[in-house]
Amino acid sequence: MLLCLVILLVTISGTLHRLNAFIYLEFSQQLNRQDTQVVVVESENLLTQQNQIITHLREQEAKAIVIFSHVSGDQQRSFDNVYFPYADPRYCLPTLEAWLGYEIVLKQTPSGCKSVWHSILGEQGESQNKLLDFSLSPAALTKFTASRLLDGDIFDAQIKDKLVLISQKQLDFAPQIRAPKINIFNDPVYLHAYIADNLIEQNLVTQMPLIQSSLLQLLILALLLITYQRCSFNIALMIASIVVIVSLLVAYLSVLWLNYFLPIGQIIFTTLVTLLWVFFARKWVEEIELNDIITNVQQRMMGRYLPQAFSAQTSPWDAIITLVNQQLALKRSIFLARTEGDHRLHEIRAINCSLSDIHEMRRDYERPPYSDAIKAFGAIHITRPFFNDLSESEAQYVVPLMYAGDIRGFWAMTVEPNEYFDEERFVQNVNRFANQIGELLFHFRIYENQQKANTSALTRVLTLALQKPLSQQVKSSIGDMEQKLSTLEHVFNQIHTAAIMFNLFGQVVQTNQKIEEIAKHNEMSLFEMTALDLLERVTHLDNEKAKGKLRYITLQQGELYMPAQLGQATFILSIRSLRASRTTSSIGEPFEVGGILFEFIDISYLVQQLDDPTKLLRQLQMQQIEQEESSEIKAQS
């Protein structure tokens, strides 16, 4: 509604008339008509030549003669087809109104006198509040000097039945005419010549009335509002460009063929303002919604632990040290990093020792023992003391940390061999860890360089990102949720128990990889089955008993165990209800149960993994005996 009000105020106030006038003037420059029924005669001394000119023109059967002279001569009053609009108070010329500084709007004739054009042309000469048409080329306008006329240097056909305008030739320093195309002339008679030509040819241009213009703006506004909201900004920008171009073309053809000028300025204004209005309104709403999404995601993730990503840490070495310390039984370790842009090394971290325990003074990886490790593409045993205070049994190794030929550092370590120590297996394990650490350091450096480039003050100013955009915050929040979801799905897929979850409407909510493999092997379409279908398929229960089981699980939130047969394999089927969570559903559901979980437990697989399966079997037999005894006691009591 506010946009409609703005469009109407702009249209009614005429704020864009200057734009309309500019476009109309540009149209006028492109039109060039070559025929006219108007002749202009300029005299060097109209006062003395006036009678002779009138006589010659009447002899040549001019349609009408209009003399533009304020000076009274022998003839100062109009007679027959000769008119003196400036000297004869009975006749006058219609007034002109400036449009963008150009006098091109034809107004009504002043009261108290008769229009010269109406006297000459009759009803054809009555027009007002219309735009002058300047399609006539100035070169096509017939112009003569009085001397040529009096000397007989003009054909009768050039005067016969023509409307002749006579004026005193203006001085060179006279002000120019404020009208398109003819602003090169200094004589106002040329502007009146165009008025006469317009009236004869009936090609005055009509402007669209204010009410119609307002309705047209509202119609365009409604169509554009619907169109812009159904497409992206790039498509909307393309549509706006097409609308502007088509509007200009239609307005030009309308002036050319129909002598009707559309409010093209208002149309362009409405098109572009509506585009910007929809764009900013949409961005405003999206910003509010994105803020809500970010807040909701952060609140949901607040109670869920999510470790920091490796690339997001301030230093990669703490995570690497934790990795090495919990995986390898090393006595001492020291990490050295490469100085960027140089072949020098510097100490970074030490494990089970201090950085001062390094005995090797060389810090150039182009020299041994570092160069030897690079040539070997892995860990090498070094005999020259690298650490201080080495024991007799302590062995030293150094391995390069590199990836794709880029050396990121070195890892020096010591180990005390025992009777179970296998040097070959140890070197293989160290090399595998070193390769992974080198790749981590390589990607961390790439990520760090990108972050520095993206977060520099100049880059942030040029990309309008001094403040972290909402899109980045949303990506970060969604990335955390995706990481958590991927982790849970991965864990769910890795368990050996085949599991499938249904909602209360019998639809599959979640499956894991094990149940999908079983379904594929037994040619079952899980996503086309309901919980009842699956229960009947694997237990061979009839329909009524299966419904009773599901009803018990749903209403009593119970748990059932029963044998299940899938092909040649036998499972223990565990069916239980899952309590509903506030975040599991986007709509309010009146049930306390969030779903039904089916678990197919393969006992044979579990038994095979035990060192002594007989213990489990004996325990199960004992539990069965105890259950039978307790049931007998209850029966006797």
**Which strand ranges, in their side-by-side order, compose the sheet holding 498-502?**
508-511, 498-502, 593-601, 569-579, 559-566
> How is residue 238 written in tokens?
């393309």
Considering the domain boundaries, does residue 231 fall inside one? yes
Considering the domain boundaries, does residue 112 fall inside one? yes
- Classify residue 491 as exposed, middle or buried by CB count within 10 Å of its CB (0-12, 13-18, 19+): exposed
Same domain, 143 and 270: no
8 A C-beta contact, residue 575 and residue 586: no
Beta carbons within 8 Å of 480's beta carbon, 6+ residues apart:
297, 301, 306
Residue type, 355: L
**Rounded Cα–Cα distance for residues 321 and 544 (Å):** 61
Considering the domain boundaries, does residue 20 fall inside one? no
Considering the domain boundaries, does residue 38 fall inside one? yes
Same domain, 338 and 414: yes
Q: Domains in the chain: how many in total?
A: 4
Last residue of a domain, one of 265, 299, 333: 299
Same domain, 398 and 437: yes
Last residue of a domain, one of 246, 278, 299: 299
Same domain, 131 and 50: yes
Burial 72-107 (b: 16+ CB within 10 A, else e): ebeeeebeebbbbbbbbeebbbbebeebeebbbbbe
Question: What is the C-alpha radius of gyration for the chain, rounded to an integer number of angstroms?
Answer: 49
CATH number of the CATH domain containing 510? 3.30.450.20
Question: What's the distance, CA 52 to chain centroid?
Answer: 76
Is the preceding omega at residue 263 within 30 degrees of 0, hence cis?
A: no
**Rounded Cα–Cα distance for residues 330 and 414 (Å):** 6
Same domain, 341 and 389: yes
Q: Cα–Cα distances in Å, from 555 out to 59, 91, 558, 575, 593?
A: 117, 104, 8, 14, 8
CB atoms within 10 A of CB 498: 22
Same domain, 162 and 241: no
Same domain, 389 and 314: yes
Considering the domain boundaries, does residue 625 fall inside one? no
Q: Which regions in the chain score pLDDT beneath 50?
A: 584-588
8 A C-beta contact, residue 314 and residue 447: no
Same domain, 192 and 240: no
> How is residue 283 written in tokens?
């961005």
Same domain, 53 and 191: yes
User: The domain containing residue 197 runs over which residues?
Assistant: 31-204
Considering the domain boundaries, does residue 472 fall inside one? no
Beta carbons within 8 Å of 93's beta carbon, 6+ residues apart:
85, 109, 115, 116, 117, 192, 195
3-class DSSP assignment, residue 73: coil
Name the residue among 252, 267, 258 with its Cα closest to residue 213: 267
> How is residue 389 written in tokens?
């205070």
CATH number of the CATH domain containing 398? 3.30.450.40
What is the structure's pLDDT at 587? 46
**Rounded Cα–Cα distance for residues 458 and 152 (Å):** 80
Considering the domain boundaries, does residue 635 fall inside one? no
The three-state (H, E, C) secondary structure of 166-181, written as one string:
EEECCCCCCCCCCCCC
Beta carbons within 8 Å of 473's beta carbon, 6+ residues apart:
290, 294
> How is residue 11 written in tokens?
């249209």
8 A C-beta contact, residue 208 and residue 216: yes
> How is residue 250 written in tokens?
């239609």
Same domain, 553 and 404: no
CB atoms within 10 A of CB 617: 12
Same domain, 523 and 547: yes
Model-level pTM? 0.60
8 A C-beta contact, residue 12 and residue 4: no
- Classify residue 162 as exposed, middle or buried by CB count within 10 Å of its CB (0-12, 13-18, 19+): buried
Identify each DSSP E strand in 270-388 by its residue range: 332-338, 345-351, 380-382
Same domain, 339 and 445: yes
Considering the domain boundaries, does residue 449 fall inside one? yes
The greatest distance separating any two alpha carbons of the chain, rounded to the nearest whole angstrom, comes to 152
Element (H, E) at 592: none
Last residue of a domain, one of 411, 441, 462: 462
Element (H, E) at 528: none
